């Protein structure tokens, strides 16, 4: 039933249409036109205005033929840089870019797959439940589209996000993530003439960072310092520095302990300096910091029907479908927080976020087949 040429053409058209984060407007119009051809009802929110994007989140609703609770299918429309003027190449069944850009399989392979599945259902008059296809903006810059989504547009309480690589795995557990930003204010001075009159903010930050354990804490928890910005010139004692990092964990308790320890390290660096130099509390150096949630964790039970449904479908197709725990985030994290039980399925994309990104047409076909079998089983067995 799957029209491989059509799937190929749809994917090529999508990736040839630029849609880096905040510039999803053109690809959103393309998707909207395809949805209308299929008879879907399109609703959008107003998220784009607050995110400075030229598009909004889009929900395409198909009423279906069966009286069942609706199923959600989700993909994001934006891509990372370098993602402009992409020239996709198909050779020996594998898509790549020309080598100077990403390909955009993340996540346009998912969009093409969802559209192909909807077309197959329509042209073959297949029975199906109500389906809601959610296409988000600004996923690649912190799941911002999903965070700003108007959830009144969605009736589904379960579904699948297509946004990972493994076509024989379903991600049911993903970590919570916290963003941390620390700014230390020191005092400038000439580094060669009177450095003793200055307070080196970078040195204090370095002491704080040196006391930290960075990387993988355990099999559930990670931490990273990603950006250090400060100083004006090599001959000026830096008056300020800003350090930005993140922490992730599948355990909320572990995450809190880790973040508290990191905050304490920066506080101690400033405190110890003041004590050593007998500086008053309200005088320099000073520390300002913020800790904000980037996204909540996902924790779909292994025996939830969303997982079992995908595993049954894979088994029927002669494949495996193992539950997986990931260290990354996806729209599914936000959907889960809102009470929508969401598993993350793979499309076969590889080396995402790089100019080496690729995907095979065969893997995209496999994911189409999996979704169709998921829908068929759900129809016939009322699996939920």
User: Distance between CA 187 and CA 239 in Å, rounded?
Assistant: 4
> What is the distance between the alpha carbons of residues 328 and 107, in angstroms, rounded to a whole number?
15
- Residue that is written with structure tokens 């260290």 in the block: 327
Name the catalytic one among 23, 24, 45, 139. Answer: 139
If one counts every other C-beta atom within 10 angstroms of the C-beta of residue 192, the result is 10
d(CA 51, CA 192): 45
Alpha helices in 231-340 (DSSP H): 252-277, 305-316, 331-337
Q: Active-site residue 139, yes or no?
A: yes
Half-sphere exposure of 34 (CA within 13 A, CB side): 26
The one catalytic residue in 45, 78, 166, 373 is: 78
Pairing of the two strands 41-44 and 221-230: unpaired
User: Both tokens of residue 215?
Assistant: 């990387």
Whether 92 sits among the annotated catalytic residues: the reply is no
Burial of 303 (0-12, 13-18, 19+ CB in 10 A): exposed
Q: Hey, how many other C-beta atoms are within 10 angstroms of the C-beta on 157?
A: 16
> Which residues are catalytic, by number?
78, 139
């Amino acid at each position: 039933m799957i029209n491989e040429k059509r799937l190929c053409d749809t994917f090529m058209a999508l990736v040839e249409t630029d849609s880096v984060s905040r510039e999803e407007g053109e690809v959103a119009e393309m998707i909207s036109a395809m949805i209308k051809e299929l008879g879907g009802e399109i609703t959008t929110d107003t998220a784009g205005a607050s995110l400075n994007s030229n598009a909004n989140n889009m929900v395409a609703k198909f009423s279906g033929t069966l009286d069942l609770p609706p199923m959600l299918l989700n993909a994001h429309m934006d891509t990372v840089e370098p993602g402009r003027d992409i020239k996709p190449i198909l050779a020996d069944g594998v898509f790549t870019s020309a080598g100077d850009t990403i390909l955009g399989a993340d996540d346009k392979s998912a969009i093409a797959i969802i559209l192909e599945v909807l077309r197959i259902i329509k042209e073959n008059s297949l029975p199906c439940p109500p389906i809601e296809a959610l296409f988000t903006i600004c996923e690649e810059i912190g799941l911002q589209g999903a965070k700003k989504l108007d959830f009144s547009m969605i009736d589904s309480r379960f579904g699948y996000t297509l946004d990972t690589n493994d076509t024989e795995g379903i991600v049911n557990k993903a970590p919570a993530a916290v963003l941390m930003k620390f700014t230390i204010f020191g005092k400038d001075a000439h580094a060669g003439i009177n450095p003793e009159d200055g307070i080196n903010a970078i040195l204090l930050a370095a002491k704080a960072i040196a006391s930290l354990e960075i990387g993988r804490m355990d099999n559930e928890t990670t931490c990273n310092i990603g950006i250090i910005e400060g100083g004006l010139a090599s001959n000026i004692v830096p008056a300020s520095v800003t350090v930005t990092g993140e922490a992730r964990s599948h355990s909320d308790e572990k995450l809190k302990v880790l973040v508290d320890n990191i905050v304490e390290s920066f506080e101690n660096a400033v405190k110890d300096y003041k004590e050593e130099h007998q500086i008053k509390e309200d005088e320099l150096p000073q520390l300002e910091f913020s800790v904000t949630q980037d996204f909540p964790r996902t924790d779909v039970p292994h025996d939830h029907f969303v997982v079992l449904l995908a595993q049954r479908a894979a088994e029927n197709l002669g494949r495996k479908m193992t539950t997986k725990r990931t260290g990354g985030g996806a729209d599914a994290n936000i959907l889960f927080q809102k009470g929508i039980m969401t598993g993350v399925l793979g499309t076969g994309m590889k080396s995402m976020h790089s100019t080496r990104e690729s995907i095979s047409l065969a893997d995209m076909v496999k994911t189409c087949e999996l979704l169709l079998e998921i829908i068929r089983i759900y129809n016939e067995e009322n699996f939920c």
